[in-house]
Structure 1
């Protein structure tokens, strides 16, 4: 009897079956966690410094805003690695499970722009009016609360005595002559310079959104611009068409072309937005590719909130 019991315990088929079941349960649990609860995201760029360092990892909570169910089999975590797109098949329509909180201004989020995942800060929520002057942002005519970890680039006139007295810390400093410096400072040091005349500078040469204002706006002087919200009504004229053309074509499902005589006949009518949109910016303000360059992001493309950085 003892030998028979030992034989059953060491049965290779049972051991293999148990290992397979354990693997399947573990793999299924990982898929559920990654799809519905938490995900880990790699940050390759410097656009969120000093809040988030480049080449670091973030934990993203999907339950904050509500996880989106995968629309196709290839959207199931890990499946895209081995499922050929030719054999992909639909699962659910675009459905989102209700979350435990709303998307708030100042949240650091995982979003998507043209198929590329991005980590940015929410600076404008639906209905906000944003204005960027000399590198500093105001929201609804109120100056933004500057976090200590934000980074800014300025040209400023300072003596060595002032630098020591104010206890300034520089991420980067370059002496230009005549007590003039080009500096990169964090939010904490910027607050100590609020009495100094400074000129914002940037090497960011990426095109500006919307493209027709590329000659008038840049990433240090931008706006004013209103973040569209569901139910917002605008007049269909050339100005608003150029401002919101991207949203009409990509997210609203409306194909307007004011170069076409037929669509030009809509001028003077009104359009009501179907979706809420958000404006995203990096904390490394002069060195970030964000909504100033690629425009608004709809709620449907904001996947989760960063909870560990």
Structure 2
């Protein structure tokens, strides 16, 4: 079950007990009588649950990075903070936008509900905005037919969870002004056609062995992982609709395997 939904249910239960006691039960108790345990616990936990629920729903929510699809920007085991209001204020649980503030920008690292299974949260980088024509060809990104510059930045080696050693090449990619690090494995093809799923607006995309080209629908975004050859992203499952956006990742607050990463901003 979704954590936000669990918090909401607990909030309803403890809040209902608090109201029941405040307006009915309290007046019927003898002054010396002790509160029932379920009233005492509910009144104690209600303000705490309310504070946590409001904080996570409207301000900041923590997430843990479970995979290497965003290496080198994010490492497996990073605990990150996500700004919940930068893209607008949304109702908890149903994610309906109440107040428009900002729209995602190209280059943002964004958390969203995975379109193939909305109970899961994914994190990728925004590459395509509504109306953009995005092409990923020979390991390079083209936005509206303009090549996004990549500058070599040395080799980058890492070990996967199965103790597989991976050798990649690191680049500094410029997404129309937003510069960030990304990885390319020269031994892996640009796209695995057999892994491409059927998805909404699939007709907006054209595939070949060396290229995927898509026109991003209105109200949707095209996402890529920074570890390009170890990322299942919009190349395979399509676009992220606006109503599945969770927020913008902005800081690493903990990594128990590498304490030097604490406090790093997410570019």
* Bucket of the pairwise TM-score, normalised by the shorter protein: 0.5 to 0.7
Show the counterpart of 1:307: 250
Residues 35-184 of structure 1 aligned to structure 2 (within 5 Å): 35-70=57-92, 75=93, 95-112=96-113, 113-114=115-116, 115=118, 116-146=120-150, 168-171=154-157, 183-184=167-168
Residue 156 of structure 2 contacts residue 170 of structure 2 at CA under 8 Å; is this kept in 1? yes
Bigger share in strand: 2
Q: Which has more radius of gyration?
A: 1
Residue 52 of structure 1 aligns to a residue in which SS?
A: coil
Residue 110 of structure 1 contacts residue 302 of structure 1 at CA under 8 Å; is this kept in 2? yes
Structure 2 Cα separation of the partners of residues 133 and 64 of structure 1: 32
Which residue, out of 165, 170, 183, partners 1:186? 170
Residue 99 of structure 2 aligns to a residue in which SS?
A: coil
Structure 1 residue 23, shift from structure 2 partner? 2.5
Q: TM-score, normalised by structure 1?
A: 0.54
Q: Please, which runs of 5 or more residues in structure 2 have no aligned partner?
A: 1-31, 159-165, 174-183, 253-267
Q: Please, which runs of 5 or more residues in structure 1 have no aligned partner?
A: 1-10, 76-92, 149-166, 173-181, 190-197, 230-275
Show the counterpart of 2:238: 295
Residue 283 of structure 1 aligns to a residue in which SS?
A: coil
Residue 31 of structure 1 aligns to a residue in which SS?
A: helix
Which residue, out of 207, 223, 226, partners 2:212? 223
Structure 2 Cα separation of the partners of residues 120 and 35 of structure 1: 21
Q: How many pairs are equivalent?
A: 195
Structure 2 Cα separation of the partners of residues 284 and 122 of structure 1: 14
Residue 33 of structure 1 aligns to a residue in which SS?
A: helix
